[in-house]
Structure 1
Amino acid sequence: MLPTGNDLDNALLVGRVWRPDAAGPSLVTVRSGRVVDITSRQTPTMRDLLERDDLGEYLCKVEGEDLGTLEEISGNSTEGADEGKVHFLSPADLQSIKASGVTFAQSMVERVIEERAAGDPDLAQDIRKKVQSVIGDSLRGIVPGSDKAMQVKAVLLREGLWSQYLEVGIGPDVEVFTKAQPMASVGWGASVGLHPVSRWNNPEPEIVLAIDSKGRIRGAALGNDVNLRDVEGRSALLLGKAKDNNASCAIGPFVRVFDDNYTLDDVRSAELSLKVEGEDGFVLDGHSSMTQISRDPEDIVRQTIGRHHQYPDGFMLFLGTLFAPVQDRDEPGQGFTHKVGDVVSISEANLGELRNTVRLSTECPQWQFGTASLMRNLAGRNLL
C-alpha cells in the first residue's frame, strides 16, 4: 500500500479516513507505519491543508492523534469490512475531480477505434487493423499542436480517418472533463462502479495531481479513471454518462506532497503497473509509462486553471493513461472488459498501491455524504 522507493522514511503522505466516533472524516498522515489524525481548526479539510504555503514544513511538525497501524486501517477499508471502524477514504474532499483524456498516442488510437466501432466491441479488431495500418508509428513522440502534428492531421484527413479524439490528442487544446463531483471519489479498498448499461469497459491506471486554488501542483496520488468504452464510443455527447457515475473513480491511497525528495520530475518518469484479477481466474497485467505522455503535466494544468477558469477549492487532475487493453477475455476479437468482482490493483514505487473491487454503480454504496454534510459535521466538531 505504501510507496517503496525514493526515500520512503521522509515521504510526506496525507489522506483522509472516516472516523465513526466523529461520524465524519479526518485528515491523516503516516508516521513510522502508523496513521495519525492531524485535523485542526486551521486545516479541517484537505482543501485547507493543500492551500498552506508552508505545507511541507507543517506536515513535519504538526502533532496529532494516533489512530492505529496502517495495516489495521487498511484492513478495515476493504469491501465488506466493519464500517464501524476507522477506514480510508479518497484523499480529496472539496476539490473538483477533473480528468484529461487522450494524452497518450497509443490510447488515442484506441479511442478512434471506439468511435469507429460506435461502442460495439465485435467490430473493434477489424477497425484496429485498418487504423493502425494507416497511422502506424506516425504519432510516436509527436508534440500536440506542433507543425509535425498538423502535417499528420492533413494525412489522416486525406485517408478519412480524422477523429475528435485525434483533435484533442495532437491538436493544441487538451481535453479536460469532470470525472466526479467534489466528495464523490472513493478511496483505497472501496468498490468502483460500472454503469449497468455498459458491456465494454476497463480500468485506467493514472497519476492524479493535487492542485490548489492558485494553480500550484502540491503533490500526486494514484487513480483509477474507470472507462466505459461502449458508452463514450457511441457518442462524445455521452461523455458525462460514461464518466460521472456513482463510485466512478478511485484516488489514493494518499497524496504524496512534493518536497526535495519527490517532485514533478518523479511524476514525469513514473512507471505504473496494473493487475486485474477476476473471480473467473482471469488475470490481466498492464503498464503505463508517464515518459510516453504527449503533453507535459504542467501544460495540462495551465490549460485547466487560469484567468479563464478558477477553482477556489482546488482540484484533482487525472493525467490520462498509456494503457489500452486489447487482450481477449471471452470471445476472440472482443478484447478485454470488466466482470463484476474484478480486483484492480494499480501501483507505482513512489506512490504505493491503490486497490479496488469492481461492482455495478447501482450496487456500490450510495454517495450520501456531500459538502453540506461535511460542513455540518465539522461545525459540530468545533472545527470551523
Structure 2
Amino acid sequence: MELDRDGLYLGRVWREGIGPCVVTLRDGRLRDVTSRAFPTLSALLAAEDIPEACAGGEEIGPIGEWEAMSLEAAARRDAGASRLLAPCDLQVVKACGVTFARSMIERVIEERAGGDPSRAEAIRARVGAVVGERLRDLVPGSAAAAEVRAVLQAEGLWSQYLEVGIGPDAEVFTKCPPMAAVGWGAEVGLHPVSRWNNPEPEVVLAVDPRGRVRGATLGNDVNLRDVEGRSALLLGKAKDNNASAAIGPFLRLFDRSFGIEDVRRLDLTLLVEGEGGYRMEGRSSMAEISRDPLDLVAQAMGRHHQYPDGMMLYLGTLFAPVEDRDAPGQGFTHHPGDRVTIAAPGLGTLVNRVALATEAPEWTFGLGALMRNLAQRGLL
C-alpha cells in the first residue's frame, strides 16, 4: 500500500467471529485498539489526544495478510470473513461536487447531452470554444466569476453545474448513510440501469463532531454520468447505491508529518484495468481545486448543520474520462470486473473491483447491528 513509516494510520477491520474492530497500522502491522472508551472509530476521532487514546492494543497480523483475506472475502462475497473495512463507522458520508474547473465542464456536457454519451463530443467542442481557459483560475463567488457568469448566460450556456462551480455556494450532498461505505478490496457497485459511468478518485477528509479535520484518506465516488445527466434531481440515484462509496485503505491522522497543507498539494493517480488487457490511466491534482478543502468543510458542517458523530467528506475530483472504450463517440464506461486502483503519496492505495450494485454483497450490517454487536462484546 506504500504507506509512510512516520504516519499513524487508523482503520477498521472485520474479525471473523467477532465483528467490526478499530485498528491502528504502524510498521506494516495492525493492532486492534477497540475499547470500551473508544468502541468506534468516530469516538476515537473525537478524542483530544488520539495517539494516546489508541496506544497499545492487540496485534492481529501484518497488513499483507489482511489484504489477502480481503480479496478472498470479496471473491467469495463472504460478509462474515475477516477483511478490511472502510475507515469510518458512525460518521455520515458527505461529498462535494463540481469543485474542479475541468470536471465542471464535463458536468455541463452531461447535462446538455441529457445523459447520451453519443452527443457529448459535439457539445464538448462547442462549450470549449466559448469557455476556453477562462474558468481555470476563477475564485468561486468573486466579481470575476460573476462576469464570466454573465458571458455564459449571454451564450445560452449557463448551467446549474456552473452555478455551484463558480458561484458562492458549493455542492454538498450525502454520498451514503453511516456504515454503508465499502473498504479496500471490496466490490464497488453500479446501478444496473446505467450505461455511462466512471470512477472518481478523491481525497476524503475525516471531520470530528466539533468540525476539526483529524485526517485524510482516499475515496472512489462512483458516478453514473447518464443518470445525473438526465436530471440533477436524480443525483441520489446516480450517487447512492449499494457499494457505490469506497473509502480507504486507512485514515492518516494529521500530525507533524502530514496535515492539510499536504492535502492541498496531493496528486492522485487512477488506473482502471479490464478484460482483454484494457487499461485507462488518469490523475487528479488537489492543487487545481477551485475551493479550499477547509471552505468545503465549513460549507458542509457548522452552526447551520451539526454532525454529532462527525462526517467523512469527499472533496471532488479533477478526473473526467473522455476517451472512447467501446465505440467511437461513446466515451468511457465501466465494465463489470474492472479493477480500479486509486493512489496518493502518504495515503496509500485503494483497490476495488467493479460489479453491479445488485450483485455486490447486500448492505445488512447497519447502525442497529453495530450497537447490538458492541453491546454483546461488553463495549457499550
TM-score of the superposed pair, with normalisation by structure 2: 0.98
| Counterpart AA for 2:93 | I
Would you say how many aligned residue pairs link Structure 1 and Structure 2? Answer: 377
Per the alignment, do residues 306 and 83 of structure 1 end up closer, same or farther by CA in structure 2, a change over 3 Å counting?
Answer: closer
**1:65 alignment partner in structure 2:** 58
Which residue of the other structure, out of 209, 217, 221, is the alignment partner of 2:213? 217
User: 1:2: how far off?
Assistant: 3.6
Contact 1:76/1:83 (<8 A) preserved? no
Match of 1:80, SS state, is helix
Match of 1:313, SS state, is coil
**1:35 alignment partner in structure 2:** 30
Alignment of structure 1 residues 108-257 onto 2, 5 Å: 108-257=104-253
| Counterpart AA for 2:306 | Q
Contact 2:7/2:26 (<8 A) preserved? no
Q: Deviations over 1:305-329 (max 9, x none)?
A: 1111010010000000000001110
Contact 2:271/2:280 (<8 A) preserved? yes
Alignment of structure 1 residues 88-103 onto 2, 5 Å: 88-103=84-99
Q: Deviations over 1:16-44 (max 9, x none)?
A: 0001121x100001122111100000100
| Counterpart AA for 2:69 | N
Q: Identify unmatched segments of 5+ residues in structure 1.
A: none
Alignment of structure 1 residues 351-370 onto 2, 5 Å: 351-370=347-366
Contact 2:44/2:53 (<8 A) preserved? no
- Separation (CA, whole Å) in 2 of partners of 1:221 and 1:375: 25
| More divergent stretch after superposition (200-209 vs 25-34) | 25-34
1:45 aligns with 2:40: yes
Q: Deviations over 1:210-229 (max 9, x none)?
A: 00111000000000000100
**1:290 alignment partner in structure 2:** 286
- Separation (CA, whole Å) in 2 of partners of 1:250 and 1:25: 17
**1:104 alignment partner in structure 2:** 100
1:340 aligns with 2:336: yes
User: 1:84: how far off?
Assistant: 5.5
1:77 aligns with 2:73: no
Contact 1:205/1:224 (<8 A) preserved? yes
Per the alignment, do residues 374 and 84 of structure 1 end up closer, same or farther by CA in structure 2, a change over 3 Å counting?
Answer: closer
Q: Deviations over 1:105-164 (max 9, x none)?
A: 000000000000000001000000000000000101110000110000000000000000
**2:379 alignment partner in structure 1:** 383
- Separation (CA, whole Å) in 1 of partners of 2:313 and 2:168: 19
Match of 2:120, SS state, is helix
Which residue of the other structure, out of 270, 273, 282, is the alignment partner of 1:274? 270
Alignment of structure 1 residues 251-330 onto 2, 5 Å: 251-330=247-326
- Separation (CA, whole Å) in 1 of partners of 2:2 and 2:377: 30
- Separation (CA, whole Å) in 2 of partners of 1:378 and 1:212: 21
- Separation (CA, whole Å) in 2 of partners of 1:292 and 1:335: 24
User: 1:83: how far off?
Assistant: 5.7
- Separation (CA, whole Å) in 2 of partners of 1:162 and 1:280: 41
Match of 1:382, SS state, is coil
| Counterpart AA for 2:171 | E
Q: Deviations over 1:57-105 (max 9, x none)?
A: 434xx11111111000111111215765421000110000000000000
Match of 1:172, SS state, is coil
| Counterpart AA for 1:95 | Q
Q: Deviations over 1:224-282 (max 9, x none)?
A: 00010000000011011001100011000000000000000000000000000001321
| Counterpart AA for 2:75 | G
| Counterpart AA for 1:236 | A
Q: Deviations over 1:322-347 (max 9, x none)?
A: 00001110111211000000000000
Contact 2:79/2:361 (<8 A) preserved? no
- Separation (CA, whole Å) in 2 of partners of 1:163 and 1:76: 46
- Separation (CA, whole Å) in 2 of partners of 1:27 and 1:229: 35
Q: Identify unmatched segments of 5+ residues in structure 2.
A: none
Match of 2:70, SS state, is coil
User: 1:364: how far off?
Assistant: 0.3
Match of 1:265, SS state, is helix
**Alignment RMSD:** 1.0
TM-score of the superposed pair, with normalisation by structure 1: 0.97
| Counterpart AA for 1:349 | P
